[in-house]
Amino acid sequence: MFCPKCKSILLPKKKGAKVQMVCGGCGYTSQEGKTIISEKIAASRGGNVEVVHKETEPLPTTDVICPKCGNKKAYYWFLQTRASDEPETQFLKCTACSHQWRVYD
């Protein structure tokens, strides 16, 4: 819900036993009785809830041998861990055993 005056987001605030929607920007308060705050569970819509047990890695992969298990694929990413005039550090994570290591250039 958004504030009709300044278009900021309204946040729930307890006032006694009731909850009102209040704007953090201009102080607008919704009128009592007009706002209903509720939670809905996705399964109540009749759909199934998919539970994902394994994390998916949205990272690129490269051909490199894992020093722990010998797997030949790993995810990689770069971070600037030293001074800006030095090269980035390459981090690798094995696709099989999730072992992480770094490569300094």
Q: Which two tokens stand for residue 105?
A: 């250039």
Q: What length is written for the chain? A: 105
Distance between CA atoms of 34 and 10, rounded to whole angstroms?
A: 14
The pLDDT, as a whole number, for residue 71 is 95
Distance between CA atoms of 21 and 11, rounded to whole angstroms?
A: 5
Region 11-38: what's the mean pLDDT? Answer: 74
Domain 61-104, CATH number (from 2.20.25.10, 2.160.10.10, 2.40.70.10, 2.60.40.10) = 2.20.25.10
Tell if the pTM clears 0.85, that is, is over it: no
Higher pLDDT among residues 10 and 48, named by residue: 10
pLDDT tens, 86-97?
899 999 999 999
pLDDT tens, 66-83?
999 999 999 999 998 888
Say if strands 10-15 and 18-23 run parallel, antiparallel, or are unpaired: antiparallel
21 band by pLDDT with thresholds 50, 70 and 90:
confident
Q: Could you tell me the residue ranges of all domains in the chain?
A: 1-38, 61-104
Residues annotated catalytic, as ranges: 85-86
